[in-house]
Amino acid sequence: MARSTPITPVTLDAAERMDLPELRALQLERLRRTLRHAYDNVELYRKKFDAAGVAPDDCRSLADLVRFPFTTKADLREGYPFGMFAVPMDQVRRIHASSGTTGRPTVVGYTENDLSMWADVVARSIRAAGGRRGHKVHISYGYGLFTGGLGAHYGAERAGCTVIPASGGMTARQVQIIQDFQPEIIMVTPSYMLTLLDEFDRQGVDPRGTSLRIGIFGAEPWTEEMRREIEERMDIHAVDIYGLSEVIGPGVAQECVETKDGLHIWEDHFYPEVVDPFTDRVMAEGEGGELVFTSLTKEALPIIRYRTRDLTRLLPGTARPAFRRMAKVTGRCDDMVILRGVNVFPSQIEEIVLRTPGVAPHFQIRLTRRGRMDHMTVRAESRPDASPEQREAAVATIARAVKDGVGVSVDVEIVAPETLERSMGKFKRIDDQRED
């Protein structure tokens, strides 16, 4: 379990102290302004609104947002590179972009006000995670066009922290820096945190004895089982941060360290909905579906009802009562594998792997085709101290758990430690070797 060292109580900012009627009034005011800004300055939005028969002034309540069309990643790619920008280029102070591995990258821009707001929400996220002024923050998110590194960087500075911009890679050196510089906080993808933990073990260093107290993990889905794995091996508080470049980057929502019960969405800047990914119906609070966001204060790239493809559900606020929570993302619509009529998500396999004795938290799903049938193989690494008998038992345990819990039959391979490719950023869980 995580360290018993108490977290110093945080002073909430003005927005975090708002009551619900005050927040809803602010959201409506900002939403109406955003819709007008997008319609007047982005041709794609003007065409989409006109085609749907709605105008910005038709939004008289928050419930009216459902009348407006969705925005998708394809829309952003259609506007590549700067067609979605709502301000002249001389007002854009920074540009980020996705990797573009599956097509044209999505390009996002930021005005000075956008960058300041972004730093504010990341700083708020760090404080909610337990970070305080004067803490040192080791940032292992990648820098560059990816929003993770620089988003975390400027947010940590805004929070009054000292930044260690380690970026990704050079894992052995990162372990040495953590020992020498003694940061209290690390910000990194959860899969790379596991890689760092393996490197601590390789160097014979007890990771529980480091200065780290808080891990802020994001950029990919991760499970409660992975939280327990990291907290036990590292002796830290492990909390979740959420964001995506099209909406702003990291800092859209944050898990509060005092509750660890889902991520509070910073609703004064980002308005959430959850919709059925197949019918587009807006889901009631507590019902699962695809997360959709509308920005409320962005200038360079206002985003209207953006379909994130992330699967979650909305819940009432707890540690920040006015702000709704989103449950941990369970997967992505486009990560779902349909295997012989059964929907399978990598997070389901992860939960099973992480609770299996003798198996390390490194796994990959390999998809192949045998004749006309798709087939899945779960490849997982054994722990270094696992006996041959434990490895053999793990094969049967995982296969049985997947069959019983997910409803499909799979092959299981337990491979030697350090066999699977490590990731410095988002880990690729699915290795699809099926022919088109």
Identify the pLDDT of residue 229: 93
Q: Token match 């927040």: residue? A: 23
H helix intervals, 129-263: 147-158, 171-181, 190-202, 224-234
DSSP-derived letter for residue 12 is: P
Q: What is the CA 34 to chain-centroid distance, rounded?
A: 24
What distance, in Å, lies between the first and last C-alpha atoms of the chain? 45
* Distance separating alpha carbons of residues 206 and 212, to the nearest angstrom: 12
Identify the pLDDT of residue 374: 85
Q: Token match 């970070």: residue? A: 131
The amino acid at residue 399 is: A
Identify the pLDDT of residue 362: 87
Could you read off the pLDDT of 343-387 as tens digits, one per residue?
Answer: 788 878 888 998 899 998 889 999 998 877 788 999 999 999 999
Identify the pLDDT of residue 279: 93
* Distance separating alpha carbons of residues 279 and 271, to the nearest angstrom: 20
Across the range 94-121, mean pLDDT stands at 89
Helix (H) or strand (E) holding 383: none
DSSP string over 41-97: H-HHHHHHHHHHT--GGG--SGGGGGGSPPB-HHHHHHTTTTTT--S-GGG--EEEE
Structure-token pair, residue 406: 């997910």
Could you tell me whether strands 162-164 and 136-139 are parallel, antiparallel, or unpaired per DSSP bridges? parallel
Question: Does pLDDT of 38 surpass 90?
Answer: yes
Structure-token pair, residue 407: 């409803």
Cis peptide bond prior to 81, omega within 30° of 0: yes
Structure-token pair, residue 57: 């002034």
Question: Does pLDDT of 394 surpass 80?
Answer: yes
Across the range 76-103, mean pLDDT stands at 89
Q: Token match 């929907």: residue? A: 343
Identify the pLDDT of residue 301: 98
Question: Does pLDDT of 103 surpass 80?
Answer: no
Alpha-carbon Rg for the chain in angstroms: 22
Question: Does pLDDT of 4 surpass 90?
Answer: no
Q: In sequence order, what E strands does 300-390 have?
A: 306-312, 314-315, 325-326, 331-332, 337-339, 342-344, 359-370, 373-382
| 239, 282 Cβ separation under 8 angstroms | no
Question: Does pLDDT of 436 surpass 60?
Answer: no
Question: Does pLDDT of 426 surpass 90?
Answer: no
Question: Does pLDDT of 34 surpass 60?
Answer: yes
Residue 126 pLDDT class (50, 70, 90 cuts): very high
Map residue 95 onto helix, strand or coil.
strand
Q: Specify the higher pLDDT residue, 135 or 191.
A: 135
* Distance separating alpha carbons of residues 122 and 149, to the nearest angstrom: 12
* Distance separating alpha carbons of residues 332 and 66, to the nearest angstrom: 22
Q: Specify the higher pLDDT residue, 429 or 225.
A: 225
What's the angle, vertex CA 127, arms to CA 108 and CA 354, rounded to 5?
A: 80
Question: Does pLDDT of 52 surpass 90?
Answer: yes
CA distances from 306 to 67, 194, 348 (A): 14, 31, 26
Q: Token match 């929502």: residue? A: 253
Q: Token match 């979740």: residue? A: 240
DSSP string over 359-375: EEEEEEEEEEEETTEEE
Question: Does pLDDT of 128 surpass 90?
Answer: yes
Q: What is the CA 126 to chain-centroid distance, rounded?
A: 15
Identify the pLDDT of residue 425: 57
Map residue 384 onto helix, strand or coil.
coil
Identify the pLDDT of residue 341: 73
Identify the pLDDT of residue 93: 98
Residue 418 pLDDT class (50, 70, 90 cuts): confident
| 312, 264 Cβ separation under 8 angstroms | no
Map residue 305 onto helix, strand or coil.
coil
Which among 309, 184, 198 has a CA at the least distance from the CA of 237?
Answer: 184
| 99, 105 Cβ separation under 8 angstroms | yes
Identify the pLDDT of residue 1: 42
Identify the pLDDT of residue 102: 52
Residue 223 pLDDT class (50, 70, 90 cuts): confident
CB atoms within 10 A of CB 251: 29
* Distance separating alpha carbons of residues 68 and 57, to the nearest angstrom: 11
Question: Does pLDDT of 99 surpass 80?
Answer: no
